[in-house]
Structure formats: structure tokens, C-alpha cells
Amino acid sequence: MELQELYNRTVREHSIRPHNFLNLKKNPQAWEKQNPECGDTIRIFLQWNSQEELEIAFDMEGCAVSTASASMMTDIVKGKKKQEVEKIYQEVLDVMKGSKEANLLDTYGDLSVFKGILAYPVRLQCAIFPWKTLQDIIEKRYL
Ligand SMILES: [Zn+2]
């Protein structure tokens, strides 16, 4: 299957039925952030459990690209320890911002389809948005 076709299908599936999606609108412990590029709003709840593994859920009013990216992101980082989570979002953000090779995304399952939009800055901003939000929560405001 062509990458573009695989991208369309995978993004559609994740945006219609996002994984780790919870209603967090009234959850005071959820962090909320907006993407000025396209008006997406994301809420992320996260905590480290007694094994120091990440528990994460999200809620979003957003476009298909950002919703799919958040769905894939939560699949990838949940259950991981902090050091590993930090390494993952750093690597993904480096690829999406063009400072690391696109093929690194192949190690992240469905996320590899985003190789197909690395040349499209607007859609890319929406794909980056959940990852940047996760980084901000972990590095600037939480734990
Ligand atoms: Zn968007």
C-alpha cells in the first residue's frame, strides 16, 4: 500500500476511534492547551503509577491529524518509565522538526505514517501539537 493511502486510512481510524480517550472536560487535574495554528484544544491527564510507569489519557476538540497523533502518542508512551517517555518525545519531535531522520518513526508503529506529511508544515504543526504538549507538561509544569 502507498504511504499516502496508509496515512489516510490510519489517521482516519485513529481520529474516529481515538485510543486512551476520556472525557476530561471537568477534570481539574487535566492540563489543557490550544494550538493557535488550527484551533485544536487538547486536554491531557497523566500520572506515574506505583511502578513509576506512565498512565495517560486525553480529550480533544481538534482536527483529524492532531487527534490521530494524540491517539498514537498515548499508545506509545503509556506504561513507560519517565526516562523512556522523555527519550521518545524528544526523538519524535526531532524527526517532526526535521533534525533527525524520518525513518526513525518506523520504530513507533502507526506513527510511521506521519513520514508522509513531513513536507506539509500546516498538517505537521497539528501532528506535533500533542507531543509538544506532553513535553511541556512533563518538563515545565508537572513532576
Ligand atoms: Zn489541527
**pLDDT tens string 31-52:** 999 998 889 999 999 999 999 9
Cα(55) to centroid(ligand 1), Å: 24
Strand order in the sheet with 31-35: 31-35, 40-48, 54-61
Q: How far is the CA of 58 from the centre of ligand 1 (A)?
A: 15
* CB of 93 closer than 8 Å to CB of 131: yes
Reduced to 3 states (helix: H, G, I; strand: E, B; else coil), residue 37 is coil
- Domain limits for position 88: 3-141
Place of cell 484544544: 41
Residue 50 CA, ligand 1 centroid: distance in Å: 34
Other CB atoms within 10 A of residue 76 CB: 20
Cα–Cα distance for residue pair 71/91, rounded to 1 Å: 18
CA of 51 relative to ligand 1 center, distance in Å: 34
Q: Total structural domains in the chain?
A: 1
Distances (CA, A) of 28 to 54, 77, 87: 19, 22, 28
| pTM of structure | 0.94
pLDDT (tens digit per residue) in 91-128? 999 999 999 999 999 999 999 999 989 989 889 999 99
Ligand 1: centre distance to CA 18 (Å): 15
Which residues pair with residue 33 across a beta bridge? 42
Q: What is the CATH number of the domain that holds 61?
A: 3.90.1010.10
